[in-house]
Structure 1
Amino acid sequence: MRRLLTTAIALALAGSATAALARPAAPAPADAQVDATTQLPRDVRPTHYDVEIVPHAERLAFDGKVRINLDVLKPIRSITLNAVDMAFSSVRLSRAQGQDLVPKVAMDAAAQTATFTFDRELAPGSYLLSIDYSGKIGTQANGLFALDYPTASGNKRALYTQFENSDARRFIPSWDEPSLKATFHLAVTAPAGQMVVSNMPAASTHDLGDGRRLTVFAPTPKMSTYLLFMAVGDFDRTTLSDNGVEVGVIAQKGKVDQARFALESGRDVLREYDDYFGVKYPLPKLDNIAAPGRSQFFSAMENWGAIFTFESSLLFDPATSNLSDKQRIFTTAAHEIAHQWFGDLVTMAWWDDLWLNEGFATWMEGRTTRKLHPEWDVDNVDAAFTSRGPMNGDAYATTHPIVQHIATVEQASQAFDGITYGKGSAVISMLEDYVGEDAWRTGVRSYIAKHAYGNAVTDDLWKEMEIAAPGKQFTQVAHDFTLQPGVPLIKASARCEGGNTVLQLEQGEYTVDRPGKVPLRWHVPVSVRGGDGQVQRVLVDGQASLSLPGCTAPVLVNAGQKGYFRTLYAPAQFKAISAGFAKLPVVDQMGVMLDAQALAAVGLQPEADSLDLAMQVPMTAAPELWQNVAGQLAGIDDLLKADPKRQAAFRTFAQAKLSPKLAQLGWDNRADDSAAVRQLRQSLIGVLGMLGDAKVLAEARRRFDAFLANPASLGPDLRRTVLGMVARNADAATWDKLHALAQAEKSSMLRDQYYGLLAMAKDKALAQRALDMALTAEPGATNSASMIATVAREHPHLAFDFATAHRTQVDALVDSTSRARYYPGLGSGADDLKMVDKINAFAEQYIAPTSRREAQRVVNGIQTRVKLRQQRLPQVEAWLKQRGV
């Protein structure tokens, strides 16, 4: 699943059988029966589901029949499985040459289970459980749900399923846990004119003569319940074949021409993964299904053979989509296709090891993007962002280990976070660098082959890595970074002895909110580059030292920036690094800047060190460095917002720093612009607009007025930037113009964007209009919650108070698995402790104690931000005064 991560963490410091199978599914390996947490009795195990579904889209309901082949493992009197929002009309249990048994049925809504109790004991053996039932079709992405969307011929409705983590139980009475794998045989009765899609190709179709068609799909390989998929709608499909697999993209009618880039990307990624994993993709087809609308939780889902992706992460319209859209389409495909192995073929035994799915898919996404699209990151700067991205969140008391115990469905939902995805990916990148690419791939291939069609835990992977990379203390290093939370801090100091530099390394811990914390202990792989350009490696266990030739050149710690730690240089070493900054590789320049900013923000390094480094970035520096400078200045602006006079003076200073760079680039793309330059242009315009630059705001308004007269006049690269700037600074008349665009738009993807713009206004009265609109049917069921969240960026108290005051209505607009995160997240941008009291009161009343992690994280972030703001301001103001600001 491609998670939609929020910016809350960054703000805290800123101030997806039969002959029909092309490749037959292999049987589960003998070691597939792993020990795993369960919420169901372990006395029954399903092996196969025959499922018949008849959806009634017009009344948001469906009828179902399921016949489950199961094994009773010991004498029992009852069978318990998962079921939510279902009514049973018939339940019976049969055995070969035996009499059908009809049980008593008891539902437990809180436990999300149904229990069938029999009047006599069931002996161990194989049985067939047959259930006729009915269920609900929702309007948010849980279970079977409907999405409505506009077209030129009127509104349409399509149906899709979303089961991760624990919503297959809304579609089929089932053993809805990842370790209880089975095969699935799905049959769907739907309107004859609509397309039906599932994990496998259709084995047969039969017109029923009443305007409906029965589609029967080939049986799936053995897989977890959360990977089953079904969609029904007015779709088109485009395909290509590669290496025996039919790769397809499915979209609403009239949009399939926008799928070409996604289709070709899917083919290229599939080729790469067939080679990398050493096990070829085992299904006969791989579809990617585009859906209108959005979720507050995810952008895509890795259903085996039938990836579900919201349109904004799959379709590319050259008239309105920009380079960032193209990159998102590719990286989303790379992420979800990686899951076809890490997650689908081999599945974590329980949600404790969710990172085996998400951390690896995130890492493979980055690795594959670098290999197949090196032009998007010519200086390999992404390594610095991969390693640093999760650190701020991981440095709070509210963090958790990568491998974490999950006890409830709600906790499983909360596990889809920046630690699981971001830190998981960063640690994998470091571990691969530590043992080498070849050894790492050998270990991965062995793990995949050994556990195919089964389940695994993290240590199963580490066992294969120990064999592939002996003598590395691999499991010790891996356990240190996956079984305990937090971020190592490597303190570096150097002295000259006998013409050599002696580098002393000491391991501490980087923490944002616990300055007196006793550091945890890690075995930290560290790469060091000396003056001769050679890289030396050392495993730091508390302390370590290295001798490097020469004493004149600065020594760089974390060369290549793949280590998951922050580096605190002694003052003399940081001064030397700063003096030779321009000679460092760009990725190392970025790493030094990011560490200095983070360390200054928590008082471990002077603010002047970080700000001086930013000011010395020359006009010729890499675009990514300029993006960082712009972001740093935007953070200082936020730090000063409580003092408008001081902020105004700073804005003049910041504009003077950034405007020449924008003037150098110009507003419009040039033929030789790199991807990084094009994205820097957008960032500079956006930040200067946020800083109130009059010329930038006027030019954006001019281009918006031209766009109203001729939409083609605003190119795709600037379209979102300009419209966003205009929306943020809108008056009532401008807001009405944007509203009219939203109402008239027939493209579901663009319509979603327009309604998002309406929620961006700084003007409080306009923000209130957006909130009021969110509770109407106009924006569409999947846009409303996002509109409220967008308002919260500028007006956290207004949005939080509104949402909690209308909680019953807002609950219907939010994925059920997201509510415990959604409401606290609305307040995450607040800068005062009043919000802390509001969130705590809400959590106490409405969020289960076991589901309050996000509320606690947001509360701690606000409290820490308030404290750090007070600590940082004197240093920042002193630095500004030295520059006459």
Structure 2
Amino acid sequence: MHRSLLSAAVALTLATAPAVHASAAPTRAPAGTAAGDTTTQLPRNAVPTHYRISLTPDAATGTFSGRAVVTINVTKPSSTLTLNAADLTFAQVTLTPAAGGAGRDATVAVDAAAQTATFTFAQPVAPGMYHLAMDYTGVIGTQAVGLFSLDYPGADGKKQRALYTQFENSDARRMIPSWDEPAYKASFALDVVVPAGQMAVSNMPAARTEALPDGRRRVTFGTTPKMSTYLLFLALGDFERAAAKVDGTEVGVVTRRGALPQARFALDAQQAILREYNDYFGVRYPLPKLDNVAGAGRSQFFSAMENWGAIFTFEYALLLDPTIATQHDREEIFSTAAHEMAHQWFGDLVTMRWWDDLWLNEGFASWMESRMTARLHPEWNTRLGTVATRETAMRRDSVAGTHPVVQHVETVEQANQAFDEITYSKGESVIRMLEAYVGENAWKSGVRAYMKANAYGNTVSDDLWKQIEKAAGKPVTAIAHDFTLQPGIPLIKVGDAACSNAASTVPLTQAEFTRDRAGKAPLAWRVPVIAQIAGSAKQGTTLVAGGQGAVTVPGCGAVIVNAGQTGYYRTLYTSAGFAQLAQQFAGIAPIDQIGLLADSSALGLAGLQPASDVLDLVQATPAGADPAVWSRIAGLLDGLHERYREEARGGDTTRQRRFAAFAIGRLAPLMAQVGWTARPDEASAVANLREQLIVVLSDLGDATTIAEARRRYAALTTDPQAVPGPLRKTVMGVVAQHADAAMWDQLHAAARNETSPLVRDQRYTLLAATDDRALAMRALELALTDEPGLTISATMISEVAMRYPDMAFDFAVAHLAKINERVDASSRSRYLARLAMASADPAMVNKLGAYAEANLAPTSRGDVEAAVAAIQDRIRVNAARLPEIDAWLAKNAR
């Protein structure tokens, strides 16, 4: 599953949240069973081996009927069979011996809270193979859980409806009564009744199609390989498909009618990625086809899902609409496809045994998406973005409420909350560090061995470490355990270098970086460290263990620790060491410039070095620095300005305006250099920087940028080409951000009249991106109507929360029932906490506590705890560090 990613103009920072709900208390399987000691919510008295499923959906009424015949192995005598079922009504349940004989009907008891159905038989069922036949009905939802519908305007303006499934992690039970846990792998044979003129898509190709007397068709799909329930998929609608052959596999894209040309880039990307993955994993993709199916709208927490052979992707992460597409969109579409296709091996072919090891799916797929994007599109220079991935993880990992990468999950609600920055971004960063430690070839050999040893099975993290360690001949398992079985971030304190015989030796001390627990006793890690002299390519390496170490590097001069930025740790230099690096900053490699900016910013805000040090680096950055370095600087300045904005809400804007003037003075000349018009053959990073500079200068209130965006937007009324496609979203975002009531009404009318689902969703989201508080409230009220569409409402509210978190949170609490209708059911325990996370109001801590007490089980409050920690940290940092920035501005800003 891929996290939700939007354009910079309307970016949301919410993590993925798949479908899970409350469950019964967990149990452990007895030793020796197929699932070992895997956590489960089900009795271990039966194991499914094959599902035969017949479905008849009725999209108009939002209901479906189904028949599932499950071949099961009853492992011990029992009068009851319990499996997962949610919102299903059973008509008849019959158990028949697989070898033949009379069937036995069961009485049915449904436990809605536990999401189970228990079938009771008059006499105990003896061990053996049986067919469990169930006739039932269910509900088609309007959010991305189970079998759900997405509505969108057709080419004629009339409403169209398509159906899709989203089962990760625990919502297959909404469409199929099943043993809905990852360790219960089985094969699936699905058939579905399809309205005339519509296309059905599933994991396997259609094996046959037969006409029905009423004009509908029954489509029967091929039988899948053995797989987990959450990977089953079905889509049904007025679709078009294009495909190509790659290494014997049919690779396809499926879109709503009329949108197929916008999927051309994705189809080309998928072909190139599949060739690379077939080689890298050493195991060829095993299914006959691999589709990527586009859906209108969006979810709050994911953009795509790795269903085996039939990836689902929301349109904004799959289609390139030439009227609004940016270079950033192109990169995100490629990386999303690379992520989901990596899952076809890491997650689908080999699946984690239970949600404790979710990171085996998500961290690895995130690392592969980064690796594959850098390999197949080196011109995008996305390697420089790996520091941002590390920073995403460290923001969560440095405050109270964090958790280990491998965490014990007892309930499916806890599994839901495991889809976060630690699982994805820390998982990816740790893998990157370990690969750098053992070497690329050894790492790949270990991965290949892991795939071959565990194909079609379930694993835990140590199964991977065993293969990597065997291939590398290094103590990978011990290091991996340090970084995955305990939370937190190592802090490597760098002593002053001693140079002798043309080499520098630097003492290193390991502590722990935390933003909110100054007196905490540090944990211990074995930390792989790479270092080099600034301006040199020669490196030295060491493993810091036991809290102390040293590294020797060829040459003399300023020493860069964590050279190449593959390590997951913070680096703290002495004042003299930092000063040396600041003096030579312009000549340091871009990846290390970005890493030094990130570390000095985080360490400064935490009080471990002057908070103004990062501004010394900003001042030392030449105009000709890599665009990615300037993008990092623009983001840092925007973040500091947001902290001043929080202070300015008290009424005094003097400090905010002074900082904004400095930031504009640094960025506006760069914007003038980059220009509003793309140059022929300019680097893709320049296109991304142009977009970001416009957004950040708009945030800073730069009058020149705002006026130019308004001028260009106004010109669209007479010249549709006045704003090129790659800038259209950005320009509209600036206009929306600074809109008055009349302009907001104009933008609202444009959203209502838009026929492209992709553009329409974006226009409604921009209505919520306003700086005007009264208009932001209007956007909140609009979000609770049916007008934007049920899957866009939550995104609009989240967008308001980026500027007015307290107002958005209060509004959501006051309208909780309507909010719950517009938020994925699996995400409700997370959504309000994430609305509040950007608050700097102490009162919000108590509000979150009251909300959690009234609505969340004690085991489901991880996101609330993270939000509270972030709010308390922001309040503390604003009070303690902004005065340091003020003093630096008074001394250095002109």
CA displacement 1:498-531 (0-9 Å, x = unmatched): 4543210110111111111111000000011136
Give the superposition deviation at 1:210: 0.5
Task: Return the letter of the residue paired with 1:3.
Answer: R
Q: Compared with structure 1, are the counterparts of its residues 285 and 32 closer, same or farther at alpha carbon in structure 2 (3 Å cutoff)?
A: farther
Q: 2:105 aligns with which of 76, 93, 102?
A: 102
Does 1:311 find its partner at 2:320?
no
Contact 1:402-1:423 within 8 A present in 2 as well:
yes
- Seen in structure 2, the aligned counterparts of structure 1 residues 497 and 626 have a Cα distance that, compared at 3 Å, is closer
Partner of 1:19: none
Residue 392 of structure 2, aligned match among 389, 394, 398: 389
Q: Flag the 1:319–1:549 CA change in 2: closer, same or farther, 3 A.
A: closer
In structure 2, give the amino acid aligned to 1:298: F
Matched residue, 2:306: 302
CA positional deviation for 1:488: 0.5
Distance in 2 between the 1:81 and 1:686 partners? 51
Q: 1:684 to 1:72 in 2, by over 3 A?
A: same
CA gap of 1:710–1:847, structure 2 versus 1, over 3 A, is: farther
Asked whether the 8 Å contact 2:540–2:554 carries over to 1, the reply is: no
Separation in structure 2 between the aligned mates of residue 205 and residue 496 of structure 1, nearest angstrom: 76
Instruction: Identify if the C-alpha distance between structure 1 residues 388 and 762 changes in structure 2 by more than 3 Å, giving closer, same or farther.
Output: closer
- Counterpart among 23, 38, 41 of residue 40 in structure 2: 38
Q: Name the counterpart of 1:117.
A: 120
Q: Please, which moves more after superposition, 821-830 or 447-456?
A: 821-830
Shift of the alpha carbon at 1:640?
2.2
Residue 789 of structure 2 corresponds to residue 783 of structure 1: no
Q: Are 1:55 and 2:57 counterparts?
A: yes
Deviation at 1:188, TM superposition (A): 0.2
- Worse-matched range after superposition: 709-718 or 863-872: 709-718
Task: State the identity as a percent.
Answer: 53
Aligned to 2:295: 291
Within 5 Å, give how 1:855-870 maps onto structure 2.
Answer: 855-870=864-879
* Mapping 1:817-828, distance limit 5 Å: 817-828=826-837
Matched, 1:362 2:386: no
Q: For the residues of structure 2 that align with 1:598 and 1:626, how far apart are their CA atoms?
A: 17
- Output one character per residue of 1:286-315: Cα deviation in whole Å (capped at 9) or x when no partner: 000000000002100000000000000101
1:667 partnered with 2:667: no
Q: Distance in 2 between matches of 1:229 and 1:129?
A: 22
Letter in 2 for 1:148: D
Paired residues for 1:430-829 under 5 Å? 430-470=433-473, 472-496=474-498, 498-499=500-501, 500-530=503-533, 533-541=537-545, 542-551=547-556, 553-641=557-645, 642=647, 643-829=652-838
Q: How far did 1:636 drift?
A: 2.5
Question: Per-residue deviation at 1:33?
Answer: 4.3
Counterpart residue identity of residue 435, structure 2: E
- Hey, what's the Cα distance between the residues in 1 that align with 2:404 and 2:806? 32
8 Å CA contact retained: 1:384, 1:588 = no
Tell me the CA shift for residue 497 of structure 1: 5.4
Q: Which amino acid aligns with 1:806?
A: H
Q: Which of the residues 70, 86, 99 maps onto 2:72?
A: 70
Q: Does 1:340 align with 2:341?
A: no
Rounded to whole Å, the distance in 2 between the matches of 1:661 and 1:237 is 44
SS of equivalent residue, structure 2 residue 201:
strand
Shift of 1:847: 1.1
| Structure-1 residue corresponding to 2:170 | 166
- 1:843 matches 2:847: no
SS in 2 for 1:624: helix
Q: Is the 8 A contact 1:34 1:455 kept in 2?
A: no
SS in 2 for 1:713: coil
Which residue type is aligned with residue 549 of structure 2?
A: A
**Aligned with 1:519: secondary structure?**
coil
What's the CA shift string for 1:461-490, capped at 9, x where partnerless?
A: 1111121011x2211001101101111010
Which residue identity does 1:412 align to in structure 2? A
Structure 2 residue matching 1:62: 3-state secondary structure: strand
The SS at the match of 1:200 is coil
Q: Which amino acid aligns with 1:125?
A: G
Deviation at 1:710, TM superposition (A): 3.2
Q: Aligned pair in 2 of structure 1 residues 546, 767: CA closer, same or farther (>3 Å)?
A: closer
Where 1:529 maps in the other structure, the secondary structure is strand
Q: Distance in 1 between matches of 2:642 and 2:796?
A: 23
User: Counterpart of 1:788 in structure 2: which amino acid?
Assistant: I
Answer yes or no: is the 8 Å Cα contact 1:319–1:712 preserved in 2.
no
- Where do 1:215-364 residues align within 5 Å? 215-364=219-368
TM-score, with structure 2 as normaliser: 0.95
Query: Structure 2 vs 1, CA of residues 626 and 791 (structure 1 numbering), >3 Å: closer, same or farther?
Result: same
Q: Corresponding residue for 1:27?
A: none
Q: Name stretches of at least 5 consecutive residues in structure 2 with no aligned partner.
A: 19-31
Deviation of 1:786 after TM superposition, in Å, equals 1.0
RMSD over aligned Cα, in angstroms?
1.8
* CA displacement 1:746-777 (0-9 Å, x = unmatched): 10000000110111122222112211111111
Deviates more, 1:779-788 or 1:3-12: 3-12
Deviations for 1:227-275, whole angstroms, at most 9, x for unmatched residues?
0000110000011111111110000001111111100101110100000
Which residue in 1 is equivalent to 2:194? 190
1:24 match: none
Q: In structure 1, what is the Cα distance between the partners aligned to 2:197 and 2:343?
A: 32
Deviation at 1:382, TM superposition (A): 2.5
After superposition, what is the alpha-carbon deviation per residue over 1:821-855, rounded to whole angstroms, capped at 9, x for unaligned? Answer: 10111111211111111111111101111111001
In structure 2, C-alpha distance between the alignment counterparts of 1:255 and 1:814, rounded to whole Å: 26
The separation in 2 between residues aligned to 1:482 and 1:498, in whole angstroms, is 38
**Per-residue deviation at 1:366?**
0.2
| 2:129 equivalent among 121, 126, 147 | 126
Partner AA of 1:54 in structure 2 = T
C-alpha distance in 2 between matches for 1:407 and 1:492: 41
Determine the structure 1 residue equivalent to 2:4. Answer: 4
Q: Please give the alpha-carbon distance, in whole angstroms, between the structure 1 residues aligned to 2:552 and 2:237.
A: 66
77-86 vs 829-838, greater mean Cα deviation: 829-838
Alignment partner of 1:91 out of 90, 93, 99: 93
Deviations 1:73-117 (A, max 9, x none): 011110000000011001110113432111111110111000011
Output the amino acid matched with 2:636: Q
Which residue pairs with 2:410 in the alignment? 407
Residue identity in the other structure for 2:491: L
Whole-Å separation in 2 of the counterparts to 1:498 and 1:358: 45
Query: Quick one: which amino acid aligns to residue 475 of structure 2?
Result: Q
- Unmatched segments (≥5 aa) in structure 1: 17-29
* Residue 546 (structure 1) shift: 2.9
Q: Secondary structure at the match of 1:386?
A: helix
How much has 1:609 moved relative to structure 2? 1.7
Quote the Cα distance in structure 1 between the aligned partners of 2:771 and 2:3.
Answer: 28
Given that 1:76 and 1:123 are in contact with CA atoms closer than 8 Å, whether structure 2 keeps it comes out as yes
Residue type of the partner of 1:566? R
Supply the distance in 2 between the matched residues of 1:416 and 1:550 (Cα, whole angstroms): 44
Measure the CA separation in 1 of the matches of 2:481 and 2:412: 26
The 3 A distance-change label for structure 1 pair 674 and 884 is: closer
Q: Provide the C-alpha distance between the structure 1 equivalents of 2:263 and 2:426, rounded to a whole number of angstroms.
A: 31
- Deviation string 1:145-204 (CA, Å, 9 cap, x unpaired) is 000000122110000000000000000000000000000000000202100110000000
TM-score, normalization: structure 1?
Answer: 0.96
Aligned residue pairs total 866
Q: Does the aligned pair in 2 maintain the 1:247–1:267 contact within 8 Å? A: yes
Query: C-alpha distance in 2, partners of 1:627/1:295?
Result: 28
DSSP 3-state at the match of 1:90: strand
Q: Deviations over 1:831-882 (max 9, x none)?
A: 1111111111111101111111001110111011101111102211111111
